[in-house]
Amino acid sequence: MEALAMELAMRDAGMKPTQIQVVEAHGTGTAKGDPLEIKAISKAYSTSERADPLIITAGKANIGHTESASGISGLIKITLAMKNDLIPMQIKIQTLNPEIDLTTIPATIPLEGHWPWRTLMGTPKVAGISSFGFTGTNTHIIVQEAP
């Protein structure tokens, strides 16, 4: 279901997976939930045409579970990252869950420092943001920086 939400969001935005540079995952922080979400991201965003790895982050590690506000916290984080040209590192990961395979996307998780968010001249910053609610509402939006 999550992969479908991602695919529909890209379709509605008129975007291809290669145009998305960052995905702000919901990030359950569980041994079962995170691999399922990464598999959904892989299904929606995996492509052999991807030149740069997709960067995956999740704000939940920074601020905890925000219940119904989880989507807005991801939107705020991505908006600030776009404005400041920096992708914050993902905290609280010592070892990646062995059930998670980022090579199929290809993707990476920024584990150290702040990563510069730069694009080719004329290419806008674009991100996908996921929010999977406790009540079963699954959403994914595509956000592009303002011209």
pLDDT at 57: 92
What is the spatial distance between Cα 34 and Cα 100, in angstroms, rounded to a whole number? 8
Question: Which residue range is the domain that position 6 belongs to?
Answer: 2-144
CB contact at 8 A, 87 and 22: yes
Domain of 127, CATH number, reads 3.40.47.10
Domain count along the chain: 1
Q: Could you state, in chain order, the average pLDDT of each consecutive group of 10 residues for the chain (147 residues)?
A: 90 96 84 86 93 89 70 89 92 86 92 84 90 74 92
pLDDT at 99: 92
What is the spatial distance between Cα 56 and Cα 74, in angstroms, rounded to a whole number? 12
